[in-house]
Amino acid sequence: GQRRLWFLHQLDPESAVYNVPLALEIRGDLDVDALGRSLGEVVRRHGVLRSRFEERDGGPVQVMLPPSEIPLEVEDLGAGAAALEAWLAAEAATPFDLETGPVLRARLARPESERHVLVLHLHHIACDGWSLEVLVQELGAVYGAILRGEPSPLPDLPVQFGDFAAWEAEQLDGGSMEEPLAWWRDRLAGLEASTEIPADRPRPRMQTYRGSVVQHRVSRGLSEGLRELARARGETPFVVLLAGFKALVSRYSGRVDVAVGAPSSGRRRTELEGLVGFFIDTLVLRTDLSSDPTFGEIAARTAETVLEAQAHGDLPFERLVEALQPERDTSRQPFFQLFFQVLDMDWAPDLPGLRCRRLPLDVGTAKFDLDVTVFDRTDGMRIEAEYATDLFDPATVERFLGAYETLLTAAVEDPTRRLSTLPVIPRADRALLEETWNATAEDYPRNERLGDLLDRQAAATPDAVALVTADPSVLWTYRRLYAGSHGLARELREGHGVGPGVLVALCLDRSADLVVAMLAVVHSGGAYVPLDPSYPEERLRFTLEDADARLLLTQERLLEALPEDRPPVLAVDRFLADAADTEEPVVRDPAPGCAEDLAYVIYTSGSTGRPKGVAITHRNAVAMVSWSRGAFTDDELAGVLFSTSVCFDLSVFEVFAALTRGGAVILAEHLLELPRLGASAESAPMPVTLVNTVPSALRELLREGHLPATVRTVNLAGEALPLDLVERAYAEPSVE
C-alpha cells in the first residue's frame, strides 16, 4: 500500500488527495508547551511518524529520522468562523514532501480566548483512520502525565510499523497468497463494469480527484432502530448500514450485481492494534441482489459477502489489481467507484480540564465517485459523503443521503419489505411530487367517445369553418363535414357491418376525403387503421393482413396501386359524390358502443422489427382531447395545421383537438407547403394558428422567413431541440 501511495506521489507531488488532516477543537486553559511535548513523545514512539521516503535502486525505502521536539506556535486568527475555515482549508490543501519529510505537521490556532484548534496533518502513507484514534488517545494520556509531573504511562511498543511491512513482504514473497488470490479471482469473475450511480455531468477522461463533502445527521430514533435491528439479526451495524447502501445503489443504478469498496483494518495480530501506520486495506464487496430480495435477505447476503471477504483479506488490494489486471481507465478506479465505511468516532483526547471535539473538514478532494462514511456516535449517527465534484452537484448528493435515510427508515419499520418496494424518495420530496409537480389529475368524460364530442361541437357551431383544403375557396363547415361523415358512417354500419371492435383500413391521399373517412369510422362505432398510399405495396399488404381489416376505404385513383389480396373496398370520393345532395341532420342518435371500444389502431414504423399495431380506445383518445382543452386556448386551436401523416398519432391531435373545440383543420401535404397555402394569410377565412412539426423542418421554414404571422403556437417533437432554434422561434412576433 505504501508503495502505491509513493508512486502516486511521484506522478503528482502537489496533490493533496492522500492528505489526512485531523482538526480538534480544545476549549479551556490549554498548556501549549505540555501539548507540544506530548505530541513529541507520541512521534518518538511511532517511527513511521518521523520517517521520510526516498528512492533507492528504483524503489522507495522508508528512512526513520531521530526523535526531535515538535514546537507548537499559537496563531491568533481573530474572531469569526470565516478566518478559521480559511485556515483549516489552507492546511488541508498543503501537500507533503515525502522525500524530505516530515509526514506529520502540527499547527495550533487560537480563534478566541480559551479556544484552540489543533490540526494534526498526516500523509496517508504513514497512517490510517485507526491510527488517528491511537494517536489521539496517546496524546491525551501523555498530556495528563506531563501536567502531573509524571513520566509517560505508555508501555514500550513491541513492534514498529516497519516490522509489519517486512513481515507482509515475506508473506507475499513466500507464496502464501495463492489461496486468497484464487478465491478473489473466482469471486470477481464476470464483474462486467463497476457499479455507478447516475451523475450530473459526463465523466472526465482523466480522474482529477477534485471533491467536496456533504454532511447529513440521522435522527437518534433511527440510529437506535438500526442498532436494534442489527442486534435482533445478530449482525453488526456495519452490515445493516451497508445492506441499506447497497439496496439504494441498486435502486439508483438499476443493477442487481452491486460491488462497492470498503476498508479492512489490516491489523490481524493483537500487537499491531496499538501502532500508527498504513495498515488499512480495501475489500471489494460484491453482492447479488437479484430476485427482488427482502431487506432482511439483503442484510443476510451482505453479511455473507463481508465475512467471506474478510476471511480472504490477507491479500493486499494492490496485489489483487496487479494479479487480475482489470481494464485500466484513467477516469476511474478499478473494480468499484463507490466506497462505504462505518466509524466509531466517539473518541477524543482526554485532556485534563479541557473539552475536546473533532471538527469536520472538507479537504477539497475525492478518491472515488462517492465515499460515504457513517459515524456511529452515542448521540446519533452522522453521515459524511465525500464526492467527486466533476460528476455531482452538492444537491444531488444531499438527495442521495436523504434517500438513504428514507430507505433505512422503511427497512427498520419492516425488514420484510422487498427491494423494489423500499422507498427512496423522502417524505417531503414525495409530498412535493404528489401535491405539486405530479398533481396533474383532471377529470374528463370517461364514458364518452370521440363521436360524442364531435356531435356536441357540430350541434353548437354548425356553420363554423371545420375544414380547409388546398382550395381555400371551398370551405367545409361543421354542418357539411357532419353530413358527409355521418352519411358514410351509416353506409359502413348498414352496408358493411361495421361496429364496435371492427377494424376499417384507410388508404387515402391528404384531402377532405381522408378527414371524412376518419370521422365516419369513428361515428360508425368501428376503429380505423391508417395506411399511407406512398408506402411500399409490401408494407400495405402486411398491415392489411395483420390487422385483418373488414373493409378498406380509399379513392378510385388509388385502386390500381393497392395490393390485389385486399379486403372489400369502398371508394370514399365516389360515395361522397353520389351523396352530395343528402342532408344529414346535425343531431342524431349515437352509434352503439362504449368508451372501452377501439377508436383506432396505428402501426409503428417497424424500425426495430416487424411493425406492431397499437390499439387505442375511445377513453384513451378522449383523455388526450380533454387534456388539450386545458393546454391550449380556443384562439390557439382556431386553425390547426394538419400536416402530420395519418400513420402517426400526432395526427389524432391535429384533427380531433380542433374539431372538438370549434376550430378548423387546415390540410397540407407537409409543413414547408405552409407558405403556399391560402390559409397562411391573415386575410384568410381561417388562418393557421398552431403547427406541429420537427425542429429541422421549423429551422428550414424560419430560414426562408415563411412562418406565417398568424401562427401563435409551435409544438416541436421527434428530434433534439437546439437552444438557438428556440430563441429564433420566439423572435417571431406572433409566437407566444
pLDDT in tens, 104-121: 999 999 988 889 999 999
Secondary structure of the chain: what % helix, strand, coil (to 5)? 40, 20, 40
CA 414/CA 97 separation, integer angstroms? 52
Span 305-315, average pLDDT: 93
- Spatial distance between the Cα atoms of 618 and 597, rounded to a whole number of angstroms: 6
pLDDT tier at 93, thresholds 50, 70, 90: confident
Give the list of residues 6+ apart from residue 303 with CB closer than 8 angstroms, or none: 235, 239
Percent of the chain past pLDDT 90, that is, above it, reads: 66
Rounded to whole angstroms, how far apart are CA atoms 69 and 9?
A: 27
- What is the phi-psi region of residue 447: left when phi exceeds 0, alpha when psi lies from -120 to 50, beta otherwise? alpha
Give the predicted TM-score (pTM) of the model. Answer: 0.69
User: Strand 338-343 relative to strand 370-377: parallel, antiparallel, unpaired?
Assistant: parallel
Following CA atoms 322, 327, 333, 336 in sequence, which dihedral angle do they give, to the nearest 10 degrees? -100
Q: Is the pLDDT of residue 655 over 60?
A: yes
pLDDT in tens, 236-294: 999 999 999 999 999 999 999 999 999 998 888 888 999 999 999 999 999 999 999 99
Q: From CA 350, how far away is CA 138, in angstroms rounded?
A: 9
Note the pLDDT of residue 398.
96
What is the reported pLDDT for 584? 58
The answer to whether residue 403 scores a pLDDT higher than 90 is yes
- The grid cell for 596 is 372501452
Q: Which of 361, 310, 350 is nearest to 141 (CA)?
A: 350
Q: How far apart are CA 139 and CA 133, in angstroms?
A: 10
Q: How many CB atoms lie within 10 A of CB 438?
A: 10
pLDDT digits (tens, 9 = 90+) for 503-519: 999 999 999 999 999 99
The pLDDT > 70 percentage for the chain reads 96
Closest by alpha carbon to 429, among 392, 401, 408?
401
Q: Please state which of the ranges 313-327, 586-600, 611-625 shows the lowest mean pLDDT.
A: 586-600
